[in-house]
Amino acid sequence: MDKYQRIDFRDQISKNKRKSFFLILIVLVFIVALGYVISMAFSPMYFTMIMIIAIIFSILYIVVSYYNSHKIAVAAVGAKKASREKHKMFFDLVEGLTIASGLPMPKLYVMPSAQINAFASGRDPKHAVICVTQGCLDRLERRELEGVLAHELGHVGNYDIRYITLVAVMVGMVAIISQIFLRSLLFGGGRGGDKKNMIFIIIGIALAILAPIVVYLVQMSISRKREYSADATAVKFTRYPEGLIRALEKIKHEHAPAEKKVNKAVAPLFFANPFKNLARTHPKIDDRIKALKRM
């Protein structure tokens, strides 16, 4: 069988959504397992207190992130509002894509960077922003830029920012629970010194150390799956995968330095990893190109 057998972009979107849902279940399993071990090593009331604290912190985090995600992202990279006179092609392409996709017009921003890159943010399509680097505007041809912008609108249409925020909150809960558990051991928080409790304490320590690492890797994996989904959605909007493929090939061969001004918390939002190979927030460019060639 031909390894490049063509697939429908709708199948690619559905496949990646199923994988992302499965990965979220893994994070939930770690939260439940960690909670169970802590409740066995300590009193149930102690575990209840940990969960209440974790939930309060998580709710505050998600509320602030949910309503201000687009402002935080734009401010974090020093982007400025795009000008219709100065960035006419940028506006024209996004307007055309919003008509084709049925999405509302997002606010447009330009980030001062020589890299070819872009990102989308916002809690829903009505509050979305799309930001591109100056390098993206200067070095991409019209159809290539259209592919990148369609990808970012794909994130908007798929509600990826809301999804990524949910995952970040779950990861944060695991980190908070783990830290409270580990620190409590310094103050002798166990409920007795029998062998059974010691076993659960040892298991709890192992989980508290490993769980944040595992769920972080799961978070990165979910981020990569969403990139494949956005690529497939871009093909749905443009019906022309070649433009996106050419843009990815230019990024693959560009020699612009890693983007030092970008906060690592914002990196998963970008079209391509702004830190080159320093993080695993995105799929390999070659893998994305192969998937697009099959559509």
CA angle 285, 80, 106 (to 5 degrees): 70
Asked whether 116 and 109 are in contact (CB, 8 A), the reply is: no
- What angle, rounded to 10 degrees, do the helices at 195-238 and 9-41 form? 160
What is the distance, to the nearest Å, from the Cα of residue 224 to the centroid of all Cα atoms in its chain? 7
Spot the catalytic one: 146, 152, 227, 259.
Answer: 152
Residue type, 250: K
- Residues of 128-165 as b/e, b for ≥16 C-beta within 10 angstroms? bbbbbbebbbebbeeebbbbbbbbbbbbbbbebbebbb
Q: Residue 17 burial by CB count (10 A; 0-12/13-18/19+): exposed, middle or buried?
A: middle
Catalytic annotation present for 152: yes
CA angle 94, 95, 97 (to 5 degrees): 65
Which positions are annotated as active-site residues?
152
